[in-house]
Structure 1
Amino acid sequence: MTNGIDPSVPPSGAGCVECDEHGGWWFHLRRCAQCGHVGCCDSSPAKHATEHFKATGHPVVQSFEPGEGWFWDYGSSELYESGPELAPPVSHPVDQPSPGPAGRVPSDWAQVLKGA
């Protein structure tokens, strides 16, 4: 799993880059272990973390949720319970809700995700 990981690169921000640019929202966040791009998970409406992998070929993401440290390798479709320590911060702020961000999540978010 060490290919595609640069532990010195910090995350791109506290939320999904593309959702923040376009006023979207996410369910959970994933951080690219190679370049730090933060994108939304496949349970989110836009699935930006997977789109980032498809566009860049960067294969490994780490959960960007508080208290989670697992990694996913898109190239091998393997889950790793742990891996190298990445540059801080290791998650979005703990006061940021999930789904998030606050103020952009529709009141019917659970129904929206069921239909996604």
Structure 2
Amino acid sequence: MTLDAPGANATDCAGLNGQAPRCHHIDQLPAVRPGLPECAECRHLGRTWARLLVCLTCGWVACSDDAQGGHSRAHYEETDHPVVATLASPSTWRWCYVHRRTV
């Protein structure tokens, strides 16, 4: 049995023709409205950010791992909200922290 994440059977979730296993987290996301286009934590600390990500569970906007703070990952670690997207548009890029890959 191949495991993608603890308790997730990747073979059961595999895509066609060897595609990466489907991330079931994206099926559970509500429609959210992103917050202000800034990382509040970085702004409070007087830092700048490289790229902003929006939590697709609650709309929280924070800096990516490219920034000094990595506040988007910190938000995931606090809340277990699994998927983020870049705030830059147009983009369809999404990242699942649970599976540690783009989805």
Q: Does TM-score exceed 0.5, indicating one fold?
A: yes
Q: Which amino acid aligns with 1:17?
A: A
The alignment yields a C-alpha RMSD, in angstroms, of 1.2
Shift of 1:17: 2.1
- The corresponding residue for 1:34 is 57
Larger Rg: 2
d(CA) in 2 for partners of 1:21 and 1:43?
18
Structure with the higher strand share, 1 or 2? 2
SS at match of 2:77: helix
Q: Which amino acid aligns with 2:56?
A: A
SS at match of 1:2: helix
Unaligned ranges ≥5, structure 2: 1-25
Q: Which amino acid aligns with 1:26?
A: W
TM-score normalized with structure 1 length: 0.62
Q: Which amino acid aligns with 2:79?
A: T
Q: Give me the identity figure in percent.
A: 31
Unaligned ranges ≥5, structure 1: 81-116
- The corresponding residue for 1:112 is none
1:78 aligns to 2:101 (yes or no): yes
> RCO higher in 1 or 2 (8 Å CA, sep ≥ 6)?
1
d(CA) in 2 for partners of 1:38 and 1:59?
14
1:2 aligns to 2:27 (yes or no): yes
